[in-house]
Chain A
Amino acid sequence: NAGVTQTPKFRILKIGQSMTLQCTQDMNHNYMYWYRQDPGMGLKLIYYSVGAGITDKGEVPNGYNVSRSTTEDFPLRLELAAPSQTSVYFCASSYMGTDGYTFGSGTRLTVV
């Protein structure tokens, strides 16, 4: 099993550009999450989904959008990138919300 796969691993964006971070899991997990990790700040929840067709905001949703059309995929969309969005982004999934999460390997995004 591949687990949770994130693409791309690295990306440099210019201010104002848009992009989609891809996340897919092959474990038939219901729950999926997007976190960002800034140095010394731990992980902050951006958006999450408890199943296909259902999404909800986390702690830091501004500047991002998500969709969950299938159980497997949970893409994160950045519109009008800003330097404040420079971070490492992690996608995660779990079968139940109370399970330990399985994380992807992360996407390091730099906005210049």
Chain B
Amino acid sequence: AQKVTQAQTEISVVEKEDVTLDCVYETRDTTYYLFWYKQPPSGELVFLIRRNSFDEQNEISGRYSWNFQKSTSSFNFTITASQVVDSAVYFCALSEASRDDKIIFGKGTRLHILP
């Protein structure tokens, strides 16, 4: 069974628009971590955020914000006032304490920010 679902394969928005990337996860563990990574066109993978299962506080970092809701098993990522440099593939990921904390990735959402 797929553990992390990113239903949006590809999204295009015009620069300065807000955009939300959805992530739904599945786990039976009570202790787990959720992550977001960014992969720009250059190909490297950049860590953005980690959230543990006991901390449901939303987080904001500049134009980026994350909404963690255990009730819906979701960990969504919002970019406010998007910029062309935000164009990338974004991966949501999950690690579970019962599985040696190995990170399992979703298939990613390709985000195009149009000038």
Residues of A at under 8 Å CB distance from B?
Answer: 33, 35, 40-45, 48, 50, 56, 58-59, 88, 90, 92, 96-103, 105-106
- Give chain B's interface residues, CB within 8 Å of chain A: 9, 33, 35, 43-45, 47, 49-50, 52, 91, 95, 97, 100-108
Q: By the criterion CB–CB under 8 Å, are A45 and B47 in contact?
A: no
Contact A45 B45 (CB under 8 A): no
Q: How far is the CA of A100 from the CA of B45 in the complex (A)?
A: 11
Cross-interface CB contact of A100 among B47, B100, B102, cutoff 8 Å: B47
Closest 9 CB pairs of A and B: A97-B101, A100-B47, A103-B45, A42-B107, A42-B105, A43-B105, A100-B50, A98-B101, A98-B33
A48 to B104: give the CA distance in the assembly, Å. 12
A97 engages B105 (CB within 8 Å)? no
A41 neighbours in B (Cβ, 8 Å): 107
Report how far A28 CA is from B9 CA in the complex, Å.
36
- Shortest Cβ distance from B95 into A: residue: A98
Q: What B residues does A44 contact at CB under 8 A?
A: 105
Q: Quick one: given A42-B91, A88-B43, A90-B45, are A58 and B107 in contact (CB under 8 Å)?
A: no
B35→A48 contact, CB < 8 A: no
Q: List 16 A–B pairs whose Cβ atoms lie within 8 Å, in order of A's numbering.
A: A33-B102, A35-B105, A40-B108, A42-B107, A43-B91, A43-B105, A45-B102, A45-B103, A48-B102, A56-B100, A97-B102, A98-B33, A98-B52, A101-B45, A105-B44, A106-B43
CA distance A100 to B106 in the complex (A): 15
Q: Once bound together, how far apart are the Cα atoms of A102 and B45, in whole Å?
A: 8
Distance A102 CA – B91 CA, assembled complex (angstroms):
14
The answer for the CA separation of A106 and B40 in the assembled complex, in Å, is 13
